């Protein structure tokens, strides 16, 4: 099972995307756990993640997160997909990054 | 806002979050560029930041005008959160201009 962790400023708007992503994942039978947190909780939830997704509003933290967790794939969610709450599109991107 | 369904409203609020959040990211990236001595890049990023903020402002204004016209705008927690993002972006933008200026003076 893949552990997908999303981070944004407060973990609030991202939670909305999580519900859409969960729906998309369930539809295609993708076995994963998806959760959203505030970037302040990176140290708590980051190390267990298979992939880390950042909300576009915290994009400027990309380098910091990569330095903190150098072995993890870290991706900024596309602004358009984020705005449209395109759960399916983000799941497809996750597959691509994880090389599935 | 009675004529707006929930999904449409959610989309508008997300638009506010995305453009506000984007403006904030751009302002922070501009500071990072200035810190690295790349002042032209910082300037370009700040212009993009202004554009994103204008976009957010337009969404906000549209909602306020709707309310003034008597079309009640539903207040959901997500909307309050979107306002948070916008306010944050405006403050960070103003501070970014000052910080970039300071970096320029130090160099």
Q: What is the pTM of this model?
A: 0.82
Give A58 to chain B, closest Cα distance, Å.
6
Q: Is the dihedral of CA A60, A63, A67, A69 positive or negative?
A: positive
Domain-wise residue ranges, chain B: 6-106
Exposed e or buried b per residue across B45-62, where buried means at least 16 C-beta atoms within 10 angstroms of its C-beta: bbebbeebbebbbebbee
Query: Domain spanning B6-106: which CATH class is it, in words?
Result: mainly alpha
Global ipTM? 0.72
Task: For tokens 């993002």, name the residue.
Answer: B85
What is the phi/psi pair of residue B32, to 5°? -60, -40
What is the phi/psi pair of residue A52, to 5°? -115, 130
Domain containing residue A64: CATH number: 3.40.50.2300
| Contact at CB, A83 and B14, closer than 8 angstroms | yes
- Closest of A27, A29, A26, A20 to residue A53, by C-alpha: A20
With CA atoms as reference, the chain B residue closest to A15 would be: B78
How many structural domains compose chain A? 1
Domain boundaries, position A80 = 2-98
Nearest-angstrom CA–CA distance, A71 and A46: 11
Q: Does residue A62 contact residue B29 with C-beta atoms inside 8 Å?
A: no
pLDDT digits 0-9 by tens, A10-49: 777 888 899 999 999 999 999 999 999 999 999 999 999 9
- Active-site positions of B read 81
The tens-digit pLDDT sequence of chain B (107 residues) is: 445 677 788 888 888 999 999 999 999 999 999 999 999 999 999 999 999 999 999 998 888 888 889 888 788 888 888 998 999 999 999 999 999 999 999 98
Nearest-angstrom CA–CA distance, B53 and B20: 6
Q: Does residue A82 contact residue A7 with C-beta atoms inside 8 Å?
A: no
């Amino acid at each position: 099972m893949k552990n997908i962790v999303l981070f944004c400023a407060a973990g609030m708007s991202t939670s909305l995307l999580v519900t859409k992503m969960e729906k998309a994942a369930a539809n295609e039978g993708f076995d994963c756990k998806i959760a959203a947190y505030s970037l302040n909780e990176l140290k708590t939830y980051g190390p267990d993640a298979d992939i880390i997704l950042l909300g576009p509003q915290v994009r400027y933290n990309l380098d910091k997160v990569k330095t903190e967790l150098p072995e993890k794939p870290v991706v900024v969610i596309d602004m358009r997909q984020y705005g449209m709450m395109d759960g399916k599109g983000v799941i497809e991107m996750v597959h691509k990054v994880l090389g599935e | 806002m009675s004529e707006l369904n929930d999904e449409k409203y959610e989309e508008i609020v997300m638009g506010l979050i995305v453009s506000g959040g984007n403006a904030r990211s751009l302002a922070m990236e501009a500071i990072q560029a200035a810190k690295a001595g790349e002042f032209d890049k910082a300037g370009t990023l700040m212009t993009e930041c202004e554009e994103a903020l204008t976009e957010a402002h337009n969404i906000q204004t549209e909602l306020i005008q709707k309310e003034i016209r008597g079309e009640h705008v539903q207040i959901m927690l997500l909307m309050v959160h979107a306002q948070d993002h916008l306010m944050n972006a405006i403050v960070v933008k103003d501070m970014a201009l000052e910080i970039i200026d300071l970096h320029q003076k130090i160099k």
